[in-house]
Amino acid sequence: MIRLSLLIVFAILILGTSDSFGKKPDQIRIGICTDVHLNLMHDSELRLGTFINAMNKEKPDFIIELGDFVTLDKKYAAYLDTWNLFQGDKYHVIGNHETDGGFSKRQVLESRGMRQPYYSFDKNGFHFIVLDGNDKKSPDTKPYYRFIGPEQIAWLKSNLSEAKLPVVLFSHQELFAPEVEEGGSVENYKEVQRILESHNLQHPGNRVIACFNGHTHFDYAENINAIWYITITSMSYHWLGEKYTQIRYSDEIDQIYPWIKMTAPFKDPLFTVVEISKRGTIRVAGKKSVWVGSTPWDLGYPAQFKKYMRPEITGRKLKFE
């Protein structure tokens, strides 16, 4: 594991291929990464350190990771220390892999200093809501869960009714269902959408602007009934599965990190700075990398995913009412 003392020397990829924006008084700037999967990649500490160093330079109003950060095994404890090197406010979203290894959600929350798996906060004239898509739908439901339960739904309605500012949501799983894939969104995403759209009809001045998620490792944005649903791709890789295995680095690395060969890794860590302006725009800073080894398509992975599976976060300028 690369020691923290070396990160300053080696973490030179500070938004080197991205668009970044200067801070303005009528906007908020958010540093976002997701699906870091720190326990799966051999260079995880360097990737996370690159993000933190970049954010300490960019100085967004806060940073947030959208889930699947790392499990609670003691040997990964240093990764939370790296995360906490950010010199500002920082937030977590609970992903479906956080409890891998038999850990409870409560243990995950305690490790991250979180009181609840879903919560809200105000910042720079916006209201932010963090949802937990890992509720158990019924007693016989087996992991991985993809549901927002009745208690959280009631909380969401109440929280929205009290919001005095424009609203942005964060979740791990999607709150919509893109045509290209199945099984990534929360099962009751339509119920959540109805709640958000009802709020917008009743409170046009404090409307829901956008929902950001991770989970599928896609690079995707879609406007549904005047709400933007934006999927941020993984910091590290696309999952391919056993059918498309390839040793990407070395036999030695493969022996220690056997899951990497079932992925299509990015050479550089991917993350972004999102700028939301009260003038009605959302800007997502673009960042590009390249595949390590063969592309998914060289290995015969279904071409239908090609549009959304790239070693890239697309730079976007999106408009809202």
Give the pLDDT score at 178. 79
pLDDT over 70 at 311, yes or no? yes
As a whole number, mean pLDDT of residues 270-274 equals: 98
Give the pLDDT score at 11. 41
- Domains of the chain: residue spans and CATH: 25-279+292-319 (3.60.21.10)
As a whole number, mean pLDDT of residues 249-255 equals: 96
Give the pLDDT score at 181. 67
- What percentage of the chain exceeds 70 in pLDDT? 91
- What percentage of the chain exceeds 90 in pLDDT? 75
As a whole number, mean pLDDT of residues 190-213 equals: 97
The alpha carbon dihedral of 278, 120, 185, 61 has a sign of: positive
Q: What is the pTM of this model?
A: 0.91
Q: How far apart are CA 244 and CA 297, in angstroms?
A: 10
Give the pLDDT score at 3. 46
What distances in angstroms separate CA 227 from CA 208, 271, 308, one per listed residue? 7, 22, 20
Give the pLDDT score at 136. 85
Strand, coil or helix: what is 260? helix
Residue 25 pLDDT grade (very low, low, confident, very high; cuts 50, 70, 90): low
